[in-house]
Structure 1
Amino acid sequence: MPDRDGRRAGRAASAQGGAARASVKLPLESGSGITLRRLQIFWAVAHSDTLTKAGKLLGLAQPSLSQQISNLEESVGAALFDRRSSRMTLTEAGARLLRDVEPVLSSMQRLEEGLFEISEGIRQTIRLAGVNSVLRVLLPRAMRALHATQPNIDYDVHESAPADVLEMLYGRHVNLGLVGGNSIAAVGAGFLQVPILEDPYVLAVPEGIALDRVSDPRRDMSAEDYRTLSRSIQFAFGTPHAKRVQTWYDQAIPGNWPFAQARSFEVALGMVSAGLGVCLAPALSSVVGDRAIHGLRLYRVAYPPRQIVALLPAQYLRQQPYLALVEALQDVGRTYEMPRFHDTPPFLRNCDAILAGE
């Protein structure tokens, strides 16, 4: 197989001066219409000043070039060049068209090169979106494992809220979503949910507050710490979830005050680390590497875990490299070890049945 860099250099040389020499060529028929080939010819003439130079660049005879330019002018309804002696000078309409044409031809060149690289086994791109904690904790481990066996894969990764991930999947902007399965409504036919990991919830409190021996918060905590415990900072991504969380707070910490709502767990936990309140959060969102986020103390609680799933159209689960990445994510989910959390505080041990089965 030829050297990969040499192959790319050769292709770049063939496209010297832009996409005007892209190998995708439409017929040179004399009929009307704006075709890719005519736009390529227009670009070459605009950058060559004369039809003779453009003809050499494209390997076409001057009469053929003149005919194609005339057909293009007829299609757009305006003269594109002032013909002065042997020189071709862009008109105002021609300059406007050139500005619009250049990005189109460049995109076609990139498309051609990308398809070539895929067909030659040089590169494949995985396009995915997911929630912050999964992208931050699980995805890099799966990417590292996959890179060891398939080094030619690259990634286009979008951090998004669950609803936005679904929208990107439906719009075909990405082909794989990594979300909490219980944070999204039922998805349409044609999409599969592949289980990756059960992510337990924890109660995150400021690092300076210890709950290990607290049986009665009002009695066993200082007034200041009790006020902090009573301020809940919640992540709101839907009414059903918000109601379940508030039910937990009401039973676990009676008299709590919904102090703040955030649109991401990471923002909510930042408020907790600043000493503003406490947060019921998935463990993955509360850790960096193998330890809790700085400024947090994490306690086990009885709350239904978040089900991390890979969400993708059914056909992609049968195609590489998506199948390989999903399998790598499942391997990470099976082997990932959560950091050590503090045991459930005494005053929360009577809450084991709260929301059971929901």
Structure 2
Amino acid sequence: MSAEITLRQIRYFDTLARAGQYRRAARQLGISQPSLSLQISALEETLGQRLVERHRNGLILTPEGRDAAAQAERVLREVEALAQQASPLRGGLRGTLRLGSTPTIGPYLLPRVLQRLHAAHPELRLVVRDGAPRELIEDLAAGAHDMVLTHLPVRGDSFRVQPLFREPLHLAVAPGHPLAGSKRIDRADLRGLPMLSLGPAYTLHRQVADLCDETGAVLRSDFEGTSLDALRQMVSMNMGVTLLPGLYVRSEVEARGGDVSVMPLRGMHRSIGLAWRAASGTPRAFADFAALIGAVVREEFAGVVIAQG
């Protein structure tokens, strides 16, 4: 070998192997594609082996590349385990913690959590970044987040999950809609109704689509909301009906004298939890943060969501 392998090269190659595309891997790493290509080429030169075959729709690992990817994963797991031994997070909530959060949850829960967090743990610096659930998990795997607050389930042996609460989903209709103000909504009432949803990057989209398949409601593909606020506004203009999470209903509908009518839909809920890389173990900071969210849910959102964990 003509040079030493660097930890950066190993991390970049691991991310590339998982992402399956240079563009996606570069985005996850926060670097340019040329920079990523340069590091991968340097790794291949050092090993004296071709690891990656480029194709129009992505890439394919060579046999040597598959072996190297497995080794890279093991190396990074061991490096992270070693880092955790000296991490200030092992002692509790201090240092810097990077949290990813989906925008359908974070804005309606985290302000209450952060208020308590800063009062009780002023030595902790929490860096919060929003993203769609699919992007959050990709970025978590790539190391951009220490943990993520997201819709469950999170699949894969590479992650550990702590369920936090179940959040009911409410049917939202325009104030003049025939179902507005109903005390009881049965799924049969949804047949034929135009249903609005967020885009496919959001797990909530899958729940809405499944509900449409089950009840005969019609999922509108010509209008996809980019946020819960956008969905609410479209419903208020009688462009369709939708599902809104309980925390959002409390924060943005009930508290503001809503422009839509919301009713509970029996049996509809979503599960929310924290996820982190299994290679991190279970630092005390993660357990403490989950416990803090649980306390906020029980004490400030009783009747809105159902605490778990």
Could you state the TM-score of these two structures normalised by the residue count of structure 1?
0.49
Alignment match of 2:101 (pick from 119, 122, 130): 130
Amino acid at match of 1:286: V
Partner of 1:161: 132
Q: Decide which structure has the larger Cα Rg and report it.
A: 1
Q: How many residues align?
A: 210
Alignment match of 1:302 (pick from 259, 266, 274): 266
Contact 2:133 2:201 (C-alpha < 8 Å) held by counterparts: no
Whole-Å separation in 2 of the counterparts to 1:138 and 1:277: 27
Contact 2:93 2:289 (C-alpha < 8 Å) held by counterparts: no
Partner of 2:175: 207
Partner of 2:251: 288
Partner of 1:104: none
Alignment match of 1:230 (pick from 170, 183, 193): 193
Cα deviation digits, residues 314-349 of structure 1 (max 9, x gap): 465643533322210122233323559xxxxxxxxx
Partner of 1:278: 241
Contact 1:233 1:259 (C-alpha < 8 Å) held by counterparts: no
Whole-Å separation in 2 of the counterparts to 1:122 and 1:301: 38
Whole-Å separation in 1 of the counterparts to 2:249 and 2:225: 15
* Residue 217 of structure 2 corresponds to residue 248 of structure 1: no
Cα distance, 1:144 vs. partner?
1.9
More strand by share: 2
Partner of 2:166: 198
Q: Alpha carbons of 1:243 and 1:172: their partners in 2 closer, same or farther (altered >3 Å)?
A: closer
Whole-Å separation in 2 of the counterparts to 1:142 and 1:309: 14
Structure of higher RCO (CA pairs closer than 8 Å, 6+ residues apart): 2
Amino acid at match of 1:187: G
Amino acid at match of 2:157: G
Deviates more, 1:235-244 or 1:199-208: 235-244
C-alpha RMSD of matched pairs (Å) = 3.9
Cα distance, 1:292 vs. partner?
5.5
* Residue 151 of structure 2 corresponds to residue 188 of structure 1: no
Partner of 2:291: 327
Whole-Å separation in 2 of the counterparts to 1:187 and 1:166: 10
Whole-Å separation in 2 of the counterparts to 1:163 and 1:247: 18
Cα distance, 1:157 vs. partner?
0.8
Cα distance, 1:273 vs. partner?
2.8
* Residue 298 of structure 2 corresponds to residue 337 of structure 1: no
Deviates more, 1:155-164 or 1:260-269: 260-269
Partner of 1:177: 148
Amino acid at match of 1:234: S
Runs (5+) with no aligned partner, structure 1? 1-114, 217-225, 341-358
Whole-Å separation in 1 of the counterparts to 2:157 and 2:243: 30
Deviates more, 1:287-296 or 1:127-136: 287-296
Cα distance, 1:173 vs. partner?
1.0
